[in-house]
Structure 1
Amino acid sequence: MQADNQVIFATAVFLITYAFIVSEKIHRAVAAFCGAALVILAGIVSEEAAVHYVDFNTIGLLIGMMIIVGITRQTGVFEFLAIKAARGAKGEPVRIMASLALITAVLSALLDNVTTVLLIVPVTFAIARQLQVNVIPYLIVEIMASNIGGTATLIGDPPNIMIGSATHLGFMDFIINLTPVVVVIYVVTIFLLKLIYSKQLATRPELMNNIMAMDENAEIKDHVLLKKCLTVLGITITGFVLHQFVHLESSVIALTGAALLLLVTRMDPEHAFQAVEWPVIFFFIGLFVVVGALEEVGVIEAIASFALEVTGGELLPAGLLILWLSAIASAFVDNIPFVATMIPLIQDMGRLGGISDLNFLWWSLSLGACLGGNGTIIGASANVVVIGMAEKRGVPITFMAFFKVAFPLMLMSIVIAMLYLMAWYVLHSTVAMLATLAVGILLALVLGRSGKGKEPAVHKTGN
């Protein structure tokens, strides 16, 4: 196949695959796998290159955390936390909403947002049933909290896992650079959601007493297993914090944690591996190959060159362009394939445009893709999971019902993120400028003293 035809074919396969993923006419894992098979069969990507394009660090991290969370789920600790939060809120519906949102955000940062909503949503239905209130406000708040919380850490949201793997940014890099703005966005978003839904969540005192009568301790099914799971989970998270210093990939930490938990619990591996969402894993594998085909034929490089022309190769305009593009795009298409496409594009922008500090662009991509997922019900995997669980329980949430609440709040969060990135850029630029100025002054002083020291010798030679 000639070069021009390869470009056309690879682009067509990518767009068709993307269309099937968005439309959900067929399962997204099947769509991605078929796209990968086509580009390999057409000779655009060789078998060896296909393996190279698959990011096994992302795959390993996902599998390891899925095993750990799957085993931990059996202890009932997540139900325990949800009921304890509801009782801590004294059964008051709006306070319960805020409490569940906080648990969802924290767990989404420490585990991952898809797993978190799978654990929290069933308990939410039980609580709403006891209070006899509309469950939809709770579900919308939990969707938004999961995506906001997942933005804060390396392991919280699949886009961050992919960015961290591609750039070798560590767990603490995400904590230091993203958590401050995520906390601000979370507080503002939950405050506004409480104002929006406060009138819809009125209930009677006797129903609030039903919540207070619930026993969270009864939810713990296996105390011995719980201790083992929390110990291994603590060791694993500590490993994430230290992985840059011990020079281990995050996937190694996650898989080691999973292996340790399997060892100490002596759980049947066949049963434990059922917790791994294999369709998600194979979706990632296929997607990496399809995007790799675009990289192979030069499409990614061409788009990167165009982006550099538009922004003039300046860091701040490039970062803000990526932020808003990621946010709007991720609101209407799943953020995982979008980020998979953007990662090599940003890498090429750095290579072609000579942008030395790409971290600013990575933070822009992370904030845009993760927060943008809050814009619509199809914007992120967690959204789709919650909507599906609600439909199975006879509580459909329409696109527009979610959109009219979530999209304006998503735009607000992106404005806050934009202000944060601008401040981040100015601060780092100022620090760099002051450092350069200090070095210049130091060199001037050194050279000045050196020059003064040489004056007598020059004078003596002149005589």
Structure 2
Amino acid sequence: TATASNCGSVATITGNPQNMVIGALSGISYPAFSAALAPVALFGLVAVVVIIRIVYRAEFARTVQLTPEVSRGRMHKGQVLKAVVVCIGLAIAFFAGVPVAKAALIGGAILLLTRAIKPERIYREIDGPLLFMFAGLFVVVAGAEKTLLSPDMIASAKNLGLDDVWRLSGFTAVLSNIMSNVPAVLALRPFIPGLE
């Protein structure tokens, strides 16, 4: 399910951190981003299903009836309804052109102001180390950009042929696997304007 989720997250600006960085830096609209990348996400999902079916074909051939253990938690119907309404409102706001950060802050504020759950329980779910890691990542990449990247080095990206979409895509894929997606997007950011 994690792989399928990663494939699906490609389709929207809010799907994953690197998409948010690309959306913020490029100024591309939410609908235009989704229209361009929804086919890619769909292809990825189909590929995941096909690969899993081939690799685990012996598992699918079994006739044993599996009974999963499901732990039923307590559900706050009012909170669930409110979350659904806010999510639908956010989707409408995103596609209507409301800035992503503004819409997300308003949606989060509505959820927090009308809460029926103690704030401490919500705060416990926040992944602090992950937030610090991203904050540090932005600082390190910005520092490297200021100290290491000269205008000549940025201009040399054209000499590598990165103004070709396919070559840039291949380079990005390799870089993303070496240093992860978000740092790769941040590292490539200074080079992109010079390629237009």
Q: TM-score with structure 2 length normalisation? A: 0.86
Query: Aligned with 2:12: secondary structure?
Result: coil
What is residue 153 of structure 1 aligned with on the other side? 12
Partner Cα separation in structure 2 for residue 200 and residue 266 of structure 1: 43
Pick 1 or 2: higher relative contact order, CA cutoff 8 A, min separation 6.
1
- Among candidates 36, 39, 42, match of residue 183 of structure 1: 42
What is residue 145 of structure 2 aligned with on the other side? 295
Amino acid paired to 1:285: A
Asked if structure 2 preserves the Cα contact closer than 8 Å seen for 1:228 and 1:265, the reply is no
Tell me by how many angstroms 1:215 deviates.
7.4
Amino acid paired to 2:172: S
Deviation string, structure 1 residues 4-30 (Cα, Å, up to 9, x no partner) = xxxxxxxxxxxxxxxxxxxxxxxxxxx
Amino acid paired to 1:257: G
What is residue 174 of structure 2 aligned with on the other side? 328
Tell me by how many angstroms 1:185 deviates.
2.9
| Greater helix share, structure number | 1
Deviation string, structure 1 residues 31-65 (Cα, Å, up to 9, x no partner) = xxxxxxxxxxxxxxxxxxxxxxxxxxxxxxxxxxx
Give % identity: 24
Partner Cα separation in structure 1 for residue 84 and residue 190 of structure 2: 37
Tell me by how many angstroms 1:286 deviates.
1.7
Corresponding residue pairs, total = 196
Amino acid paired to 1:346: I
Partner Cα separation in structure 2 for residue 225 and residue 274 of structure 1: 18
Asked if structure 2 preserves the Cα contact closer than 8 Å seen for 1:151 and 1:160, the reply is yes
Question: Does residue 221 of the first structure (1) align with residue 71 of the second (2)?
Answer: no
Q: TM-score with structure 1 length normalisation? A: 0.39
Partner Cα separation in structure 2 for residue 324 and residue 174 of structure 1: 20
Partner Cα separation in structure 1 for residue 87 and residue 167 of structure 2: 38
Partner Cα separation in structure 2 for residue 201 and residue 233 of structure 1: 35
Amino acid paired to 2:118: D
Partner Cα separation in structure 2 for residue 185 and residue 155 of structure 1: 18
Question: Does residue 251 of the first structure (1) align with residue 104 of the second (2)?
Answer: no
Query: Aligned with 2:158: secondary structure?
Result: helix
Deviation string, structure 1 residues 108-131 (Cα, Å, up to 9, x no partner) = xxxxxxxxxxxxxxxxxxxxxxxx
Tell me by how many angstroms 1:280 deviates.
2.0
Partner Cα separation in structure 2 for residue 188 and residue 340 of structure 1: 28
Asked if structure 2 preserves the Cα contact closer than 8 Å seen for 1:301 and 1:345, the reply is no
Relative to structure 1, the CA distance from residue 192 to residue 300 in structure 2 (aligned partners, 3 Å threshold; closer, same or farther) is farther
Deviation string, structure 1 residues 286-328 (Cα, Å, up to 9, x no partner) = 22222212332351644432211122x7x4x2x2222111112
Amino acid paired to 1:288: F
Query: Aligned with 1:289: secondary structure?
Result: helix
What is residue 57 of structure 1 aligned with on the other side? none
Relative to structure 1, the CA distance from residue 270 to residue 220 in structure 2 (aligned partners, 3 Å threshold; closer, same or farther) is closer
What is residue 263 of structure 1 aligned with on the other side? 113
Asked if structure 1 preserves the Cα contact closer than 8 Å seen for 2:9 and 2:41, the reply is no
Partner Cα separation in structure 2 for residue 149 and residue 220 of structure 1: 28
Question: Does residue 346 of the first structure (1) align with residue 192 of the second (2)?
Answer: yes
Relative to structure 1, the CA distance from residue 143 to residue 259 in structure 2 (aligned partners, 3 Å threshold; closer, same or farther) is same
Deviation string, structure 1 residues 258-304 (Cα, Å, up to 9, x no partner) = 11011122433333233222222222222222221233235164443
Tell me by how many angstroms 1:150 deviates.
1.1
The RMSD of aligned alpha carbons is 2.4
Amino acid paired to 1:277: D
- Among candidates 48, 72, 86, match of residue 232 of structure 1: 86
Relative to structure 1, the CA distance from residue 215 to residue 335 in structure 2 (aligned partners, 3 Å threshold; closer, same or farther) is closer
Relative to structure 1, the CA distance from residue 147 to residue 298 in structure 2 (aligned partners, 3 Å threshold; closer, same or farther) is same
Tell me, which stretches of 5 or more residues in structure 2 are unaligned?
Answer: none
Relative to structure 1, the CA distance from residue 185 to residue 271 in structure 2 (aligned partners, 3 Å threshold; closer, same or farther) is closer
Asked if structure 2 preserves the Cα contact closer than 8 Å seen for 1:151 and 1:178, the reply is yes
Structure number with larger C-alpha Rg: 1
Partner Cα separation in structure 2 for residue 276 and residue 345 of structure 1: 34
